[in-house]
A and B are shown apart, each in its own frame.
Chain A
Amino acid sequence: MIFWLILTSLVFASEYDDSNDFEKLKDPIRFANRFFIKNTLIEIFGDTEQVKSLIDKNFFKVGGQVGGPCDIYEQVYHSPEELLDPNVECPKGKSASKFDLFPKSNLLRSSYLVKTCYELSINRELPSNLRSELFFKNLSRAFYPYGGDKELMIVVKSKYSDLSGISRKKALLTYCVSSKWQEL
């Protein structure tokens, strides 16, 4: 009994006053910013105008939510209207240079990503390397070149082993919206 009392008093003794019920925060994960996401998705889904415009429209344009500031010192103009590299363009003026370098988890970011991934995976033809027999291997390599998708692969393989067109697309979408490939 005495031992138990000592134990509990030691455990709950604190140098701070914890009497209020203020909520304590848990740090959300940090994600890669829009430049990384855009480049990765282009690598996987193909460097075509259609893919680029889909990513730009659904994800890249909302820098305030998905992070990645532009660099106002790197803007190079071909002509007064045209920029050399739209990736560093600050279309919304100086404020676009103040976007978070790396965004934190938030619902809007998830929504934009789900929307982008859905349109790239389901509404389009599969990329050529994902039409082969080595589908799962190539899928894993595309998003997780350094591993880290063991658990995810178990779930995906258990559900989409028939390798039909729609199953492949669903597996691709699952990988696309999974979190670890985007985490820092």
Chain B
Amino acid sequence: MRRREFLTHTLRSLLLASIGPTIHSCFRGPDEFRFSQLDNEFNYIQINLYGGPTRWMLDNFLIPKQGMEFLPTKMVGSHFSSSDGDVSLKTIERFSFQVPHFWGLKQHNGVEHSELLKNMITVRGVDINVLGHPLGIIKTVRPNSEHPSIHGLISDHSKSPLPSVIFGSNPATRSYHANKRGGLIIPLRKENLITSILSPFLMSDEKSFFGAGDKRDRILKEVLNNIDAVKGFDSIYKNELKSTLRLFVDDLQPILNEYEETHARYQDIIKRNIYNFEGLDINRLKLPSLKPTHAKEWGRYKIDHQTYLGGENLEEMLSSAHPGTLSEQFACTEVLIKRGIVKSFMISTPNEMGCLLYNCHNKGNFLNSSFNNSKLIKVKDKNCVIQMDSHETGTILTTASAFMYFRSLIPCINNLKVELKNIKLGNNKTLFDKSLIHLSSEFERRPREDESGSDHNNHSHTSSFISGSIKKFQMLGNITVGRGRLGTIGTAAPVTKINRTIAARDVYRSVCNILKIECPLPRTHSLLKWDGDTIVQGFEELKNVRGES
């Protein structure tokens, strides 16, 4: 060791040893129960649409500015433009950008969907560059297998009692990896999600939670105070025990009650919005009642690999469709984030199938019973599910089902925004200012020529970020215009500033940057940055450039 280094280290140690504890005590104060401190850490909520549904009508903005080059493609649309089921992209202007007209529609409470845009930054034209759903989604949540996933990284840095809760059982949820703290992965087949999350605090010999018994509470408090009084025991462990006690004794029943109310609210929001087809022009649509002569002509009417739309009213088919456990997941997220118990969530799909809508009625549609086109029969009564991964879903149902799903999703996010905004923190901040909602999936879709479905476009990924710290609607990322049959579908194009296409690892880096966590990934660029206490886009580049899709 050189003399200068030796002196530096010695003096640094002496000085810190003498004044360190004083400074520490001045700034940090006594250890308190951590989950009452809402303003210490950022919350991160990822809404992961595993299965890769089309987002052209939502946030994959294809013509963000007037005059930008755009080449229409069959299947790419936001409403029905003819009785035969043609779709087209209708845009409106909001906050100086051209956005799909979906954003101009109103929710049940009269609020426009575009209310969310005020606090949103969208990154389009991200190149995932791997094939298939599992690899695609892993690339977005854990771009480098040597390092933790986004949620894992947050867990490692979080001081909250339960650092991460991941809903569902699919490759996105299984990619969770942390170096220091485990997350809680909750399968969506569970009936009551909040009970599953809080199950560690449920006594096995009783139906009630720990808080039900006064005697037990007293004993636990006394014993855990004993541990606290012992000098030399690890402070992290002591704090874990304190938080454990707090969850055991004080807080569970109010949480359960609040969850019930919140869940009912989200259910109501979904119910009031999902069946509102205004803006889709579904009335214009006339489904054929005759048997097709050749399946190829029927591509756009496809429901799945064996069934075709026909004869019945599409509205009736979708009259009892619902988006699965979306309301439960949103309710859990809201309740636990408001109480500071969990800091990061992944709202996702129950399994690999990535279902968009459940409980649709197939009655009256045509079933191809023998894979021979001449043997199409009418379905009598059967429930069906519409997949996010719409390989075999034709134009009509792809458009209608995505419309319905987003009709329920956006009001839920808007409601979460309002609820988080109502929680006031210090310095004129709200909990919404300290939260980042990230709408993501693995990739956008590539329409088939016969409109019988759409495949993967692994060169197109869109991420939308919503936060109270984002003060105006912003957008970045370049896409190609396309050529011939495949027009503008959102395929990534290089960005001048980084001299390559935006990659999934840049999105990971951006989240780290906003959450003020050191990003372990090398060679990455942050797409978002802090400007004082406001989140802004990292660079301004938004072009549709000439090139193949």
Interface residue ranges, A against B (CB under 8 Å): 7, 10-11, 13, 20-23, 25-29, 54, 57-58, 62, 64-65, 100, 103-112, 114-115, 118-119, 122-123, 151-152, 155-156, 159, 170, 173-174, 177-180, 183
Contacts and interface: CB of A to CB of B under 8 A. Distances in A.
Given A25-B156, A111-B200, A7 B243 contact: no
Nearest to A23: B157
B12 A10 contact: yes
Interface string B6-44: 011001100110000000000000000000000000000
B223 A170 contact: yes
B180 A119 contact: no
A29 B204 contact: no
Contacts of A180: 233
A110 B226 contact: no
B2 interface: no
A105 B242 CA distance: 13
Interface stretch (B214-222, B291-299, B383-391, B400-408): B214-222
Contact of A21 (B12, B223, B516): B516
A28 B180 contact: yes
Given A10-B8, A11-B8, A174-B223, A111 B244 contact: yes
A58 B204 contact: yes
Given A104-B180, A118-B220, A170-B219, A155 B243 contact: no
Contacts of A109: 240
Interface string B195-220: 00000110111000000000010011
Given A156-B226, A177-B224, A178-B233, A115 B200 contact: yes
Interface string B242-264: 01110110000000000000000
Contacts of B234: 28-29, 105, 179, 183
B182 A65 contact: yes
- Name, among A108, A151, A152, A178, the residue most crowded by chain B CB atoms within 10 Å (CB to CB): A108
23 contacts: A11-B11, A13-B8, A20-B516, A22-B516, A22-B518, A23-B516, A28-B234, A104-B181, A105-B237, A106-B163, A107-B162, A107-B244, A108-B200, A110-B241, A110-B243, A111-B244, A114-B244, A115-B203, A115-B204, A122-B216, A152-B233, A174-B227, A177-B227
A110 B157 contact: no
Contacts of A111: 200-201, 244, 247-248
A123 B231 CA distance: 28
B354 interface: no
B205 A123 contact: yes
Given A20-B516, A108-B162, A108-B200, A159 B240 contact: no
Nearest to B201: A111
Contact of A106 (B11, B181, B204): B181
B232 interface: yes
B126 to A, nearest CB: 24
A26 B161 CA distance: 16
A119 B206 CA distance: 11
A27 B184 CA distance: 20
B219 A114 contact: no
Nearest to A111: B200
Contacts of B237: 29, 105, 110, 179
Contacts of B498: none
A152 B237 CA distance: 15
A132 to B, nearest CB: 22
A170 B200 contact: no
Given A22-B516, A104-B181, 15 more contacts: A7-B15, A10-B7, A10-B8, A23-B517, A28-B236, A58-B204, A155-B229, A155-B230, A159-B226, A170-B223, A178-B227, A178-B233, A179-B233, A179-B234, A180-B233
Contacts of B180: 25, 27-28, 104
B182 A64 contact: yes
A100 B204 CA distance: 25
Contacts of A106: 163, 181-182, 240
Contacts of A178: 227, 230, 233
Nearest to A54: B204
A110 to B, nearest CB: 4
Contacts of A183: 234
Nearest to A57: B204
Contacts of B518: 20, 22-23
A109 B302 CA distance: 50
Contacts of B182: 64-65, 100, 103, 106, 108
B327 to A, nearest CB: 26
B15 to A, nearest CB: 5
Given A110-B240, A151-B232, A155-B230, A10 B11 contact: yes
A119 B236 CA distance: 24
A20 B243 CA distance: 30
The 10 residue pairs across chains A and B that have the minimum distance between CB atoms: A111-B200, A22-B518, A110-B240, A179-B237, A174-B226, A107-B161, A110-B244, A11-B12, A151-B230, A173-B223
A100 B152 CA distance: 14
A173 B240 CA distance: 17
Nearest to A99: B182
A25 B520 CA distance: 13
Contacts of A21: 516
A109 B516 CA distance: 27
B231 A177 contact: no
A108 B8 CA distance: 42
A22 B200 contact: no
Contacts of A54: 204
Contact of A105 (B16, B203, B216, B236): B236
A183 B205 CA distance: 28
Contacts of A115: 200-201, 203-204
Contacts of B184: 108
Interface in B170-185: 180-182, 184
A20 B236 CA distance: 25
B219 A25 contact: no
Contacts of A20: 516, 518
Interface in B146-164: 156-157, 161-163
Interface centre among A107, A112, A156, A174 (most CB of B within 10 A): A107
A152 B227 CA distance: 8
A123 B241 CA distance: 20
